[in-house]
Chains A and B, each alone.
Chain A
């Protein structure tokens, strides 16, 4: 019975591909094998439609209008906040701050929480596998107020060394900030365990999780996870670009000052004094990305209808298939073999540069990413300056992998 249900689930999820118009197109005359969802995912028709519908049928600014379309859109917009809260298992919509992307979420925490609650000599622990978005904001803070940055090392498989992490913790550590799923290696970090270690060491230790990939490849639950902050972006979750989310514990958000000033975030303004609204509104100065928020809501509806657990099972099966197929290619090395791994395949091939591979695959209709994946410290550690990265999404299938493998054989032939 369970097996039958599993087969049905696979059939259902394979049909989802038809919901994505871009995947029906061609690239250089070949069917498009889109294996760059880790950079940004394609959008289902439902997301495209809902955004068009707002522009065509009821667009206005929100939080201000006394007229019907503005009030309706405001209600729809705020309903997405509740939907996001439910999607990530947050206690309430008050935990949800809309940002431009995950990068802005981290910058917000660094500028607002960091500048208020950290001082010279305080220590921040990052990992060696962070995206630049979770390195540079902390370096800016270091240069400004003199905090100290330490990093957790990872081993040859791409798994974090948790014992080394425990050794890094001192009475000066105030924040641990790490990536849930590595965009360059696919490593799924033991987020719950890391948070437990941090909070056991010091209950007021703050933890930020970069969930840009984490929220895309499996279900997350903020109450279970117990992170203080969790950031992600809409465009990797099959939603529009320009909208991201910062989850924060309510008491923390309330204690943090706004980091941008402007309209829509204030209670009262005079030239002498301004009072701010409560969180999350005090962090949302100016007209927000209204239609993008609506689009994000529909993207969440879409993936929720499929089921994040089902997406995870589908991608895991495809990752196994892809790993086996790539291993058959002579001279190919896969980077990243952590025990827990999501749908990301990072690799190099002897005698060719990732940039060469990317350009030939482009001609073969295969979209991958070649480069350092905004993780230069990680690349340094691996003694590489670039890799090829094929990343999976809910719509990926075996044909995509086969087309990739065929393209790689072409690469090998051309650079013989």
Chain B
């Protein structure tokens, strides 16, 4: 399953694509593999504010291990969340700060999604993960 892959495998897969369409198709497919988030977890508390699409995230740190569930009503954002799962899921909090998420997104040509200018829930979510790792 693609969500078990490593950052390296994902970036390699992306490098094989010739055009944006293949990249986005792969992203949409990744989004389809995202485990369902329980509807009861889609609360105001777990809602991540954005202008264009809705994002929910619930994250925990247990025994220094970071684990989260998240969802969005937009397919492509679900794909982006899947990339975050590959990068962050079940990592030790110490490792989280060391993840070069910007570098990864840049390499696969999706770095515009990490721009604060988009005012997206997705960007806010990445900020939340980073903060959570620092504060744990």
Is A355 within 8 A of B74, CB to CB?
A: yes
Instruction: Return chain B residues, CB-CB under 8 Å to A122.
Output: none
Instruction: Return chain A residues, CB-CB under 8 Å to B51.
Output: 371-372
Is B73 within 8 A of A363, CB to CB?
A: no
Instruction: Return chain B residues, CB-CB under 8 Å to A415.
Output: 28, 75
Once bound together, how far apart are the Cα atoms of A415 and B73, in whole Å?
A: 13
Is A353 within 8 A of B74, CB to CB?
A: yes
Write the chain A residue with the least CB distance to B113.
A359
Residues facing B in A359-416 (CB within 8 A) are: 359-360, 363, 370-372, 385-386, 410, 414-415
Residues facing B in A13-58 (CB within 8 A) are: 28
Q: What is the size, in residues, of chain B's interface with A at 8 Å between Cβ atoms?
A: 16
Instruction: Return chain A residues, CB-CB under 8 Å to B76.
Output: 355-356, 359-360
Instruction: Return chain A residues, CB-CB under 8 Å to B120.
Output: 355
Closest CB in chain A relative to B26 CB, distance in Å = 11
Closest CB in chain B relative to A292 CB, distance in Å = 22
Once bound together, how far apart are the Cα atoms of A360 and B28, in whole Å?
A: 11
Residues facing A in B66-85 (CB within 8 A) are: 72-77
Closest CB in chain B relative to A113 CB, distance in Å = 31
Closest CB in chain B relative to A131 CB, distance in Å = 14
| B92 CB–A CB distance under 8 Å | no
Write the chain A residue with the least CB distance to B55.
A355
Closest CB in chain A relative to B43 CB, distance in Å = 16
Once bound together, how far apart are the Cα atoms of A28 and B25, in whole Å?
A: 17
Instruction: Return chain A residues, CB-CB under 8 Å to B73.
Output: 353, 385
Closest CB in chain A relative to B119 CB, distance in Å = 9
| A358 CB–B CB distance under 8 Å | yes
| A352 CB–B CB distance under 8 Å | yes
Of the listed residues B28, B72, B75, the one surrounded by the most CB atoms of chain A closer than 10 A to its CB is: B75
Instruction: Return chain A residues, CB-CB under 8 Å to B54.
Output: 385
Once bound together, how far apart are the Cα atoms of A265 and B9, in whole Å?
A: 64
Given A414-B28, A415-B28, A415-B75; A354-B52 close (CB under 8 Å): yes
Closest CB in chain B relative to A380 CB, distance in Å = 14
Given A355-B74, A385-B73; A363-B52 close (CB under 8 Å): no
Is B21 within 8 A of A353, CB to CB?
A: no
Instruction: Return chain B residues, CB-CB under 8 Å to A370.
Output: 52-53
Is B52 within 8 A of A355, CB to CB?
A: yes
Closest CB in chain A relative to B123 CB, distance in Å = 13
Write the chain A residue with the least CB distance to B23.
A363
Residues facing A in B25-65 (CB within 8 A) are: 25, 28, 51-54
Is B24 within 8 A of A414, CB to CB?
A: yes
| B20 CB–A CB distance under 8 Å | yes
Closest CB in chain B relative to A366 CB, distance in Å = 13
Is B24 within 8 A of A355, CB to CB?
A: no
Contact string, B97-125, partner A, CB cutoff 8 A, digits 1/0? 00000000000000000000000100000
Closest CB in chain B relative to A351 CB, distance in Å = 9
Contact string, B1-32, partner A, CB cutoff 8 A, digits 1/0? 00000000000000000001100110010000
Once bound together, how far apart are the Cα atoms of A282 and B119, in whole Å?
A: 36
Q: Which one of A356, A363, A372, A385 contacts B21 once the chains associate, using CB atoms below 8 Å?
A: A363
Instruction: Return chain B residues, CB-CB under 8 Å to A353.
Output: 53, 72-75, 77
Instruction: Return chain B residues, CB-CB under 8 Å to A360.
Output: 24, 76
Of the listed residues B20, B53, B77, the one surrounded by the most CB atoms of chain A closer than 10 A to its CB is: B53
Closest CB in chain B relative to A359 CB, distance in Å = 5
Instruction: Return chain A residues, CB-CB under 8 Å to B52.
Output: 354-355, 358, 370-371, 386
Instruction: Return chain A residues, CB-CB under 8 Å to B75.
Output: 352-353, 356, 415
Write the chain B residue with the least CB distance to A351.
B75
Q: Which one of B20, B28, B72, B74 contacts A363 once the chains associate, using CB atoms below 8 Å?
A: B20
Closest CB in chain A relative to B31 CB, distance in Å = 10
Instruction: Return chain A residues, CB-CB under 8 Å to B28.
Output: 414-415
| Sampled A-B contacts (6; CB under 8 Å) | A353-B73, A353-B74, A355-B52, A356-B75, A359-B24, A363-B20
Residues of A within 8 A of B (CB): 28, 352-356, 358-360, 363, 370-372, 385-386, 410, 414-415
Q: A353-B77, A371-B51 are in contact. List 12 more A-B contacts (CB 8 A).
A: A28-B20, A353-B72, A353-B73, A356-B74, A356-B75, A356-B77, A358-B52, A359-B76, A360-B24, A360-B76, A370-B53, A410-B21
Residues of B within 8 A of A (CB): 20-21, 24-25, 28, 51-54, 72-77, 120
Task: Give 4 closest A-B pairs by Cβ, nearest first.
Answer: A355-B53, A353-B74, A355-B74, A355-B52
